[in-house]
């Protein structure tokens, strides 16, 4: 997928507090942070066993932090949520023995990602003569738009049983509009011949026709 949980948190930091019940819990325990090192005790699932890696998000006492690297079964390098994944890490400050859990919205992201690939004429994994996600040469731009689509999907699901004036409904509508506008404007640079240089631009608003042989 182009967008990670980190990308979702950069747009909506409270996502992992307010609607974490819609996410998939990868592990939970008690967390302490010194510098940028998170140590978890009483962890119900080891980080390596759960597949936790860079791009995931850990919620500590209701606050979302990026996971920059998994150091061991119960340790990781973390940062406050940065505006961009390319920015320097931001130490969270000292945290001692607070409830911590790693949640992911990958299940909600997967269908959005498949939709993106289909609209771009890409396949994952690519078959013979097909292009895959690695053909995209501006993945950061695509991730930002994909994240809006995931946020819309999450809040739409969360608001399904909400009262008519629920803030969840307003958030779902906000992200629906934001996703539609960002998708309309996105230009995806594609490397069609495998030389590492983009030589085509595709738009999500343009249908890609593929000739099968």
Helix 139-158 vs helix 167-185: angle between axes, to the nearest 10 degrees? 150
CB 44 within 8 A of CB 29: yes
Residue with tokens 């409904």: 169
Instruction: Write down the pLDDT at residue 206.
Output: 54
* Peptide bond before residue 57 is cis, with ω within 30 degrees of 0: no
Instruction: Write down the pLDDT at residue 209.
Output: 42
Instruction: Write down the pLDDT at residue 164.
Output: 84
Q: What is the rounded end-to-end Cα distance, in angstroms, of the chain?
A: 28
Spans of all domains in the chain: 24-104, 107-203
**pTM for the predicted model, two decimal places:** 0.90
**pLDDT in single tens digits along all 213 residues of the chain:** 999 999 999 999 899 999 999 999 999 999 999 999 999 999 999 999 999 999 999 999 999 999 999 999 999 999 999 999 999 999 999 999 999 999 999 999 999 999 999 999 999 998 888 999 999 999 999 999 999 999 999 999 999 888 888 899 999 999 999 999 999 999 999 999 999 999 999 998 654 444 433
Instruction: Write down the pLDDT at residue 189.
Output: 96
Instruction: State the Cα–Cα distance between residues 166 and 183, nearest whole angstrom.
Output: 26
Own/partner pairs for 188-191, CB < 8 Å, 24+ apart?
188/120, 188/136, 188/138, 188/141, 188/142, 189/136, 189/137, 189/138, 190/120, 190/131, 190/135, 190/136, 190/137, 191/135, 191/137
Instruction: Write down the pLDDT at residue 211.
Output: 41
- Please give the structure tokens belonging to residue 182: 């960002």
Instruction: State the Cα–Cα distance between residues 74 and 39, nearest whole angstrom.
Output: 6
Instruction: Write down the pLDDT at residue 165.
Output: 86
């Amino acid at each position: 997928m182009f967008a990670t949980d980190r990308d979702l948190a950069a747009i909506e930091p409270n996502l992992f507090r307010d609607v974490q019940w819609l996410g998939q819990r990868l592990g939970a325990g008690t967390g302490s942070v010194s510098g940028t090192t998170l140590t978890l005790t009483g962890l119900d699932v080891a980080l390596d066993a759960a597949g936790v890696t860079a791009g995931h998000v850990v919620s500590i006492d209701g606050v979302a932090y990026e996971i920059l690297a998994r150091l061991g079964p119960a340790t990781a390098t973390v940062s406050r949520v940065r505006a961009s994944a390319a920015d320097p890490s931001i130490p969270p400050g000292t945290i001692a023995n607070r409830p911590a859990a790693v949640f992911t919205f990958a299940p909600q992201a997967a269908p959005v990602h498949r939709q993106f690939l289909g609209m771009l004429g890409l396949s994952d994994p690519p078959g013979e003569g097909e292009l895959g996600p690695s053909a995209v040469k501006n993945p950061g731009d695509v991730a930002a738009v994909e994240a809006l689509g995931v946020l819309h999907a999450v809040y739409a699901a969360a608001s399904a049983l909400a009262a008519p004036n629920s803030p969840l409904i307003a958030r779902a509508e906000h992200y629906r509009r934001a996703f539609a506008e960002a998708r309309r404007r996105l230009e995806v640079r594609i490397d069609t011949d495998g030389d590492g240089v983009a030589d085509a631009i595709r738009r999500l608003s343009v249908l890609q026709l593929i000739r099968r042989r």
